[in-house]
Amino acid sequence: MKARLYDRYVKEVVPALKQKRRYSNVHEVPRMEKIVVNMGIGASLEKSAIDDAAKDLALITGRKPATSKSRHSIANFKLREGQPIGCRVTLRRDVMYEFFDRLIATALPRIRDFRGLSPRSFDGRGSYSLGVGDQTIFPEIELDKIKRQQGMDITIVTSARTDAEALDLLKLMGMPFAEVKAKESETKTKPGEAKAVEAKEVK
């Protein structure tokens, strides 16, 4: 059985994008390719921090995380080459759509004072990244069992060629973007012009 959001993409999003962007071929329509969820761990934390983060990430995504290790030794950060510094999971196909569905429907609305995501966090090639400061917004995490707050980065990779196309895709998929207010251009008068106006008013 296909994910709910995949059915929505095929039945609603694809026709809407074809009509708006005038795509001649269905394969030109942008689609989500993968979602990468990454948790970074400070080198100064105890060794169990990596295990705790991996357990939380496994609960959130339903997949076993891969451990990220440092490539270089940096003495100022007390970092050694090959030391674990985080964990990550890459989601594709049905699992990707299921995670995206839970993210926009359940997790993001639980953020305190949430007013929408910034539409300016695209990388110029159709991928969108957002940062989550606390893993407890996901209902899979039990508050009584966590030892520390752990943030994460979520990157949504699409096949869109431009950021505008990716924005249209994610909006139609239900991504809650904040409305960007256009800045009104303020006209500034030069000192000489201001004096001339005052002189005309005096006359």
Nearest to 35 by CA among 130, 117, 168, 151: 130
Per-residue model confidence as pLDDT tens digits over 81-100: 767 777 889 999 889 999 99
Is pLDDT at 10 greater than 80 in this prediction? yes
Is pLDDT at 195 greater than 50 in this prediction? no
Q: What is the mean pLDDT of the chain?
A: 79
Categorize the per-residue pLDDT at 180 as very low, low, confident or very high, splitting at 50, 70 and 90: low
Instruction: For residues 1 and 11, give the distance between their C-alpha atoms in angstroms, rounded to a whole number.
Output: 15
Three-state DSSP class for residue 88: strand
| Radius of gyration of the chain from its Cα atoms, rounded to whole angstroms | 23
What pLDDT is stored for residue 91 in this prediction?
92
- Sheet with 66-69, strands from edge to edge, namely 66-69, 84-91, 32-40, 152-158, 128-132
Q: Where are the domains of the chain?
A: 4-179
Whether 142 and 113 have beta carbons less than 8 Å apart is answered as no
What pLDDT is stored for residue 96 in this prediction?
92
Instruction: For residues 107 and 100, give the distance between their C-alpha atoms in angstroms, rounded to a whole number.
Output: 10
- State the pTM of this model: 0.77
Q: Is CATH 3.30.1440.10 what the domain over 4-179 is classified as, yes or no? A: yes
Q: Which amino acid is at 23?
A: Y
Is pLDDT at 34 greater than 90 in this prediction? yes
